[in-house]
Structure 1
Amino acid sequence: MEECSERHKDLHGMMEPSSTRNSSERCPCPLNSQDYTQEDHNYTYHNQGEDLMDIKVEIKAEEEETYVRDDQQSMKEDGIAGSFIEEDTPTEISTDLTTIQEAMFVKFSSLLEKGLANTANQITNTIKADLSNLGARIEAIEDKVEATTARTNQNSAHLRTIQDQLDMALSRIDKLENRSRRYNFRIRGLPETFSDIPSTVQDIITALIPNIPPQRLELDRAHRSLGPPRQDGSPRDIIVKPHFYAVKEEVMRQSRLKATLQHQGHQIHIFADLAPTTIQRRRTLKPLLTVLSQRDIKYRWTFPFAVKFSIQGKTHSFATLQEGERLLLGLRLISHETPMDFTPASSGSTKRPPPGSPVSPLWSKGPSKKSKEGKPP
């Protein structure tokens, strides 16, 4: 090889490598041949370029074949290789592409199913945890509702007892207040223009009891009811307390015997001085009193609170609206079809609503989670 000239190095490069030959062998280059002439040298040198081009084409073809072979081996390892490399017809190439697409679709479908399964498992686990949490919270709420319902029913029973005791206490207070007012009576209808109240009251008493001695006309108190003058212009009541209780009782008796009472041309009315709550309770009985008045049945109020009347020589009395309704129905003074207004006279009515029924839960309590877990399958 060292005996060859530089211009033949390319030719040596395309030949067999020197490592495969013995060192004693002579270089096969034609330049070293004894029979090599100048004409042969010119021919070899002229065709050297064409030989190099052919060799390069063959090397490129071998490289492409090696690349296809490696790609085919890789596709075989992935399970999607086919024999389309070795086939050249369009029909077979189309068939191989379809096969490859189907194989890729199957592989992608498998990957998608695995991903969806993992996602579904994650969502299911999250929902199960949330449901378990909600179940525990609902169970706690049910326990609280049950305890609250029991406590409410217990409190309702205590409340009814307390209401009964309160009604009894208020009734006794009303009696005490009415007893403190039992010496008094009220005169209604005198205009506010009457300024000398004591003299006016003594004149009214004298008109009702003509033969009363002057010393019996002594008054402990005589004045207008407390509060400013009324906006509607109606006069305020005059509250009178005679010094002698007998005088008050005689005035009340004489006033009931007279159909009308007048003083200096003004019609007046005389009433007992009662507690405001007693007056309110009397107003609730107004529908029944209206029925008695329409039947020309005289009635009177007894102390501290009751209505008394007589019919066919027999005396009857009632103290509540329900009791009076039953009594008038029994006497056939009213019927179930008789229209009556039982609306309370004002919002300050002392009538108590009927007691309500015990409170029951909105739903029945379900089995607890602990009982479900402890129950054998």
Structure 2
Amino acid sequence: MSKKGKPKKNEEQELGPAQSSDSSDTTQPPGDMNDVADPPNRTVLAAIAALRSEVAQIKGDICSSIDARIQTVCTELRGELATTKKEIQTSITALEGNTSSHEKTIKDLERSASLQSDDITALQSQVTRLKSEVDKLVTKCEDLEGRSRRHNIRIIGIPEGAEGFAPRDFVADLLQEVLSLEAKPLIDRAHRTLRRRPDPQEPPRPIVLRLHYYHVLEGILRKAITARQLFYEGKRIQIFPDYPPAVAKRRALFNRARELLRDRPGVKYGLLYPARLLVTFNRTQTSFTDAKKAEEYAEGLFAPKPSTSTNDMESQE
């Protein structure tokens, strides 16, 4: 308060005596102003002080509560972490044991796979060799079966039971009559194919017979091919060589090509044993073992050539 009174004193000194008397009448002493303004300030200061004390107390309570809660959480976390750590260690121990067991198993599997790979390689080589030998044996068996049937022919279309109880005599008379042979052929044996007797609405079983002389068989087949259509009691019959089933299937694949080549001018063809089509055209021989290629050749042999258009002829001129 003394510091605020100094400026007033300096002002009184500067104004002089006349002005000082007037100011003493209108201006109140500093002590009176402080008495009027101090009570509200003191109340505010007291409220502020009380508020600060209350805030400090609240802060202390909050800090104490937070500290207590943190301690509780830390304790719980330590317990949970300890439990989790123990569980993880147990799991890791079990996984390590499983890993060791799996590692041993994998090594055994690798060793076994290596041995099996070697065995498979050896087996593949052996299978390749055996396959080659089996193919050779199959070819030999087909050849032997075909040679054993060289004296056989098949007759298709004879009604069931027409041969009676003496099929050799029946077939000999049939061949002499149908093919106009000078004498009855000598037949070693004759019988129906070995399968069940067909129903009346089903086609009859073929008759297989073995001729004693091969040249007689050639003559019969030659006359059968020349005649083309043979009949017995009004029913058409057919005479074929008796081929093994595998050979017969392979020869049947060339039927389409043979139909295309039949009755073509300047074309001669023949199906050689076991299944090879030999075609002669314009003194050029071509052989086929693939039925598809034979058909393509037969279709293109007499295919119409594209005619030359007028524009092409003018361009050539």
TM-score of the superposed pair, with normalisation by structure 1:
0.54
Q: Aligned pair 1:158/2:126, yes or no?
A: yes
- Structure 1 residue runs of 5 or longer lacking an equivalent are 1-89, 336-377
Whole-Å separation in 2 of the counterparts to 1:247 and 1:113: 106
Aligned-partner Cα distance in 1 for 2:278–2:187: 30
Question: Given the superposition, is the C-alpha separation of residues 311 and 111 from structure 1 closer, same or farther in structure 2, using an over 3 Å criterion?
Answer: same
**Residue 269 of structure 1 corresponds to which residue in structure 2?**
238
Query: Distance between the aligned counterparts of 1:221 and 1:93, measured in 2?
Result: 126
Secondary structure of 2:115's match? helix
Q: Which amino acid aligns with 2:216?
A: V
Partner of 1:239: 208
User: What code does the residue aligned with 2:202 have?
Assistant: G
Offset at 1:114?
A: 2.8
Alpha-carbon distance change, 95 to 190 in structure 1, aligned in 2, over 3 angstroms? closer
Which shows bigger deviation, 137-146 or 267-276?
137-146
Q: Distance in 2 between matches of 1:207 and 1:309?
A: 34
**Structure 1 residue 269, shift from structure 2 partner:** 0.8
1:225 corresponds to which residue?
193
Pick one of 267, 273, 281 that aligns with 1:303: 273
**C-alpha deviation, 1:188, in angstroms:** 0.6
More helix by share: 2
> Please, which of 149, 162, 180 is the counterpart of residue 194 of structure 1?
162
Q: Do structure 1's residue 118 and structure 2's residue 94 form an aligned pair?
A: no
Shift of 1:222: 2.5
Q: Secondary structure at the match of 1:229?
A: coil
Residue in 1 that maps onto 2:286: 316
CA distance change for structure 1 residues 239 and 107 in 2, over 3 Å: closer, same or farther?
closer
- Residues of 2 paired with 1:205 and 1:314: CA distance? 37
The correspondence of residues 68-147 of structure 1 with structure 2, limited to 5 A, is 99-147=67-115
8 A contact 1:208–1:251 mirrored in 2: no
1:168 aligned partner = 136
SS across alignment from 1:217:
coil
Q: Across the two proteins, how many residue pairs are aligned to each other? A: 237
In structure 2, do the counterparts of structure 1 residues 227 and 109 end up closer, same or farther at CA, with 3 Å as the change threshold? closer
Distance (whole Å) between structure 2 residues aligned to residue 181 and residue 106 of structure 1:
101
CA–CA distance in structure 2, aligned partners of residues 121 and 260 of structure 1: 96
The whole-number CA distance in structure 1 between the counterparts of 2:269 and 2:93 is: 83
Return the offset for 1:316. Answer: 3.3
Q: Structure 2 counterpart of 1:140, which letter?
A: D
Kindly indicate whether residue 261 of structure 2 is the aligned counterpart of residue 291 of structure 1.
Answer: no
**1:324-363, CA deviations, whole angstroms, 9 ceiling, x for partnerless residues?**
445655x47469xxxxxxxxxxxxxxxxxxxxxxxxxxxx
Q: Distance between the aligned counterparts of 1:332 and 1:97, measured in 2?
A: 107
Per-residue Cα deviation, 1:35-81 (whole angstroms, up to 9, x for no partner): xxxxxxxxxxxxxxxxxxxxxxxxxxxxxxxxxxxxxxxxxxxxxxx
Q: Deviations over 1:85-114 (max 9, x none)?
A: xxxxx9778875664444343334333333
Secondary structure in 2 aligned to 1:133? helix
Judging changes above 3 Å, is the alpha-carbon distance between structure 1 residues 96 and 167 closer, same or farther for their aligned structure 2 residues? closer
Decide whether the 8 Å contact of 1:208 with 1:255 is kept in 2: no
Question: Contact 1:208–1:254 (CA<8 Å) still a contact in 2?
Answer: no
C-alpha distance in 2, partners of 1:226/1:277? 17
Identity %: 19
CA distance in 2, matches of 1:228, 1:172: 30
Per the alignment, residue 282 of structure 1 pairs with 251
The structure 2 residue matched to 1:249, chosen from 198, 205, 218, is: 218
Query: What SS does structure 1 have at the residue aligned with 2:279?
Result: strand
1:161-182 deviations in Å (ceiling 9; x for gaps): 2111111112112211221211
Structure 2 spans left out of the alignment, 5+ residues: 1-56, 302-317
Residue 291 of structure 1 and its aligned partner are, at CA, apart by 3.0
Structure 1 residues 128 and 150: CA distance shift in structure 2, 3 A:
same
CA shift for structure 1 position 152: 1.9
Q: 1:207 to 1:123 in 2, by over 3 A?
A: same
Secondary structure of the corresponding residue to residue 154 of structure 2: strand
Counterpart CA distance in 1 for 2:186 and 2:74 is 122
